[in-house]
Amino acid sequence: MLYDRYASLVYSIALKALRSVSEAEDLTQEVFMILARWQSASEGGPRAYDPQRGSLAKYLTTLTRSRAIDRLRSRTTYRKYLDRWSHTQTAMDLATPLSDATKQERRALVVAALSTLKSKQREVLELSYYEGRSQKEISEQLGVPLGTVKSWARRGLLQLREKLRDQLGDEPQ
Amino acid sequence: MSEQNDPLPNDPRQPQTPTEDLSEALRELAAGYVLGDLASEEAEQFHQLMSQNPALKAEVHSLQQALELMPYALPEENPRHEVRSKILQAVQAEINSATLAPVGEIAPPNRKLQADSPTPFSSSPVGKLLRKKLTWLIGGIAIGYAAALGFNALKTARLGPSLATTSTPTRQATQIDQVWLGFHDLSQDHNNALREIDGPVDFTVQSVSEIPDQVKYFPVTLATLPVLPESKGKLLGGSNCKLGKTAGLRLSYQVDMPLDTSSKASSESPSTSQETSQIVSVYQLEPNEEQFPGFYDSYITSRQPDGTTIVLWREERYVYALVADLPLPELSSLAQSITPI
């Protein structure tokens, strides 16, 4: 069942980003309502998608994150980051990034990959990914030069990708 | 899966991905692009580069994918149980206040289901004519909602006792639940049939003209049978079935899926084409207004939480349905190929 399968993924991301149980629950509801409308609107139609689990997880992840950041943005401003994301998202397909690893295997792989990052690299990536914070904000928050934050984030991401290379799908054509 | 021991980004790696050729500087730029930390002129230049360099584009894609895997490392948190029922309530509230606009999602049978016609069906003359008739469709849309969210267990929990008693929630809600149960019954019956040790059929026939005599629970005529053209599928046989209170006939078809590894399997050799074929259950049901409200002139499609797909429609005296584990567009196209003989 979709809700049971994905509620935890959606809620975990929401909670990580919003750091509030009630807001995270609220967002979980919002996301599943969107999914329901979307699914309903695309049933049998040209937009009907192949509900491979990986691709649905990806859809939900993206949706939850961007909605979470929307909510954070309504608290302060993260416009540039969002612009970047709304831009890159249009280029994304719904292909599954993961082959057929089970949920637990997948978790273990990603946890292991993240554990190879330096703690600062990871922290910067998380602040940026889940909370949509700009590197300038992060640099102020952590009291380190902007260039350092930039370098941590970029190298962290490159490292993460190296470790997960086997898990990633094919490049788009 | 091969182990990758060396994480250095500038180390030459297995040559299977085109991203290996990129300089480290370029890869850092790609990471910056994905992270959104490039200044706008930088980003513009990078975009330009990317449009000329497929390897760079692939690099960006792969970095994006890696970033999107991050949530899988989050500690698994679950929302409180009430959230589930709150969502269902919200869905129902939305249904209750819904306009009929979404009727455009339901195509009349004489239209291609997949047709991406920009004209909303609801605004066509036929659509307007059908509007009143199709008020219940809001309920039909609820099927999509419920199926999308997989509220199986919740519904059982809510309905189990209340169905037995005379407890009546709002009429709308009752109808929705009953519609839902109809779909649920169909998918269950189909899946149970697939699990039968002796195969999905109770009787076999030499010709479709022998079917009406085999149907126990209600009278059918040859002309009303839902028969797939021979080119679409091989008739394995039929079964009399009961879906809740609804009596039905289930015809089991073996439909060969054009897998690229095999040429179209001959319809004479079902055993050798197992991997490329699917059992499609074609139902003819006696209408039970409670379970399947009147939805003349429309195909209703639904994807069940377990992946089973259903296309349902009504003609004259019967409700028909196709149930399988096929993508909806394929199942819909099968539904359209069913013609009275």
Q: What is the ipTM of this complex?
A: 0.75
Contact B311 A2 (CB under 8 A): no
**Rounded CA separation B71/A103 (Å):** 12
Chain B's closest residue to A21, CA to CA, is B79
Distances A93 to A88, A101, B210 between C-alpha atoms, Å = 10, 20, 49
Per-residue model confidence (pLDDT) at position B316:
65
Contacts 24+ apart (CB under 8 A), A111-116: A111/B72, A111/B73, A112/A163, A113/A160, A113/A163, A113/A164, A113/B69, A113/B73, A114/A160, A114/B70, A114/B73, A116/A159, A116/A163, A116/B7
Q: Which of A35, A168, A170, A173 to mutate to test the interface with B (most CBs of B within 10 A)?
A: A168
Chain B's closest residue to A78, CA to CA, is B36
* Start-to-end C-alpha separation, chain B: 54
Mean residue pLDDT across chain B: 66
Residues of A whose CB is below 8 A from B152: 1
Over residues B252-259, the mean pLDDT reads: 78
Chain A's closest residue to B20, CA to CA, is A162
CA of B207 to nearest chain A CA: how many angstroms apart?
Answer: 32
pLDDT at B297 over 60: no
B270 and chain A: CB distance < 8 Å anywhere? no
Over residues B19-33, the mean pLDDT reads: 84
Over residues B170-179, the mean pLDDT reads: 32
Whose structure tokens read 């209703």?
A: B300
Per-residue model confidence (pLDDT) at position A173:
37
Q: Which of B87, B306, B312 to mutate to test the interface with A (most CBs of A within 10 A)?
A: B87
B81-95 b/e with 16+ CB inside 10 Å = b?
A: eebbebbbebbbebb
B41 and chain A: CB distance < 8 Å anywhere? no
Quick one: pLDDT band at residue B172, thresholds 50, 70, 90? very low
B103 and chain A: CB distance < 8 Å anywhere? no
A125 and chain B: CB distance < 8 Å anywhere? yes
Quick one: pLDDT band at residue B222, thresholds 50, 70, 90? confident
Q: Count of CB atoms within 10 A of residue B122's CB? A: 20
B329 and chain A: CB distance < 8 Å anywhere? yes
Q: Which of A40, A139, A155 to mutate to test the interface with B (most CBs of B within 10 A)?
A: A40
Over residues B3-30, the mean pLDDT reads: 59
Torsion angle of C-alpha atoms B141, B147, B151, B153, degrees rounded to 10: 130
The token duo for B81 is: 């149980």
Per-residue model confidence (pLDDT) at position A59:
73
B157 and chain A: CB distance < 8 Å anywhere? no
The angle subtended at Cα B154 by Cα B149 and Cα B156, nearest 5°, is 120
pLDDT at B215 over 50: yes
Over residues B96-123, the mean pLDDT reads: 38
Q: B87-91, B237-241, B291-295: which has the minimum mean pLDDT?
A: B291-295
Over residues B259-279, the mean pLDDT reads: 49
The angle subtended at Cα B10 by Cα B8 and Cα B11, nearest 5°, is 70
**Rounded CA separation B281/B144 (Å):** 20
pLDDT at B129 over 50: no
Per-residue model confidence (pLDDT) at position B109:
38
pTM over cut 0.80: no
**Rounded CA separation B216/B230 (Å):** 25
Contact B102 A43 (CB under 8 A): no
Contact A44 B328 (CB under 8 A): yes
Q: Are A24 and B79 in contact (CB under 8 A)?
A: yes
Per-residue model confidence (pLDDT) at position B20:
55
A152 and chain B: CB distance < 8 Å anywhere? no
pLDDT in tens, chain A (173 residues): 578 888 998 999 999 998 889 999 999 998 888 777 665 554 443 333 444 434 677 778 878 888 888 888 776 544 444 444 443 333 333 334 444 456 778 888 899 999 999 999 999 999 999 888 889 999 998 999 999 999 999 999 999 999 998 877 654 43
Whose structure tokens read 């060396």?
A: B6
User: Which one has a higher pLDDT value, B148 or A17?
Assistant: A17
Q: Distance between alpha carbon B19 and the CA centroid of its chain, in Å? A: 37
**Rounded CA separation B279/B291 (Å):** 25
CA of B202 to nearest chain A CA: how many angstroms apart?
Answer: 31
Per-residue model confidence (pLDDT) at position A140:
92
Q: Are B36 and A85 in contact (CB under 8 A)?
A: yes
Q: A37-41, A85-89, B84-88, B322-326: which has the minimum mean pLDDT?
A: A85-89
Nearest CB to B105 within list A5, A45, A106? A45
Per-residue model confidence (pLDDT) at position A73:
76
Per-residue model confidence (pLDDT) at position A11:
94
CB pairs under 8 A between A and B: 221
pLDDT at B183 over 90: no
Residues 19-38 of B with CB under 8 A from A: 27-28, 31-32, 34-37
Residues of A whose CB is below 8 A from B20: none
Residues 61-100 of A with CB under 8 A from B: 61-62, 65, 80-81, 83-85, 88, 92, 97-98
pLDDT at B283 over 70: yes
Element (H, E) at B246: strand B246-256
